[in-house]
Amino acid sequence: MHSFSSADIQEMDKIFRLNLINSCTGYKSANLLGTRSTRGNTNLAVFSSITHLGSNPAIIGFVLRPTTVPRDTYKNIKETGLFTVNHIHSEVVADAHHTSAKYPEEISEFDQTDFKPEYINEFYAPYVHGAKVRLGCQYLNEYEIKENDTLLIVSKIEAIHVSENILQEDGWLSLEAAQSVTINGLDGYASPKLIERFDYARPKT
């Protein structure tokens, strides 16, 4: 077994440390965040930190890295209050990963990939055409994480759009049917396989 102390982690090569720490917590969600500035410039970026925060009200959160450098996603969300979350599926992982490249604000990742923007029910931010699970979200609040100068962005789910055969009768989404992928570390994409679904857990049952 390999073992690393806190001191070992601090002394690691930067890339080795990035890979280790980003993968040691397990698989992460894989989503594309779509935004549009008040000037109409669209932006698309891969995020692996989106997580469920509550179902009533329906809110999610994601972590934004330090804003000491330009963050078009953050800027657009602060301007308009709106963004979309689009599941990455197995057929588009290369283009999805490419959206992490640093382009100037005036260059849209939609134009640098095969992704196409789609606008549904006059929602201002662009969805990803062809994404099988899509959320329209509204910014609610942000919280500074002082330990590493990141931001936790809290947002409300305003709309959910799901392709056929994914939504089950009890409201559960079959992400395997959607071919939704997960992210392993910084640059690994994986296809999860359902093991089992269980009944709601109650004591002694």
CA dist 144 and 126 (Å) reads 27
Nearest to 142 by CA among 204, 32, 66, 195: 66
Write out the two tokens for 66.
């330090």
What are the tens digits of pLDDT across the range 110-148?
A: 999 999 999 999 999 999 999 999 999 999 999 999 999
Domain 30-190: give its CATH code. Answer: 2.30.110.10
Q: Does residue 126 have a cis bond before it (omega within 30 degrees)?
A: no
- Integer angstrom CA distances of residue 88 from 75, 79, 94: 23, 25, 10
Query: Could you tell me where the DSSP H helices lie in the chain?
Result: 6-11, 14-23, 72-80, 93-98, 109-112
Question: pTM value?
Answer: 0.92
The pLDDT, as a whole number, for residue 173 is 96
What are the tens digits of pLDDT across the range 20-31?
A: 999 999 999 999
Q: So where are the chain's domains?
A: 30-190
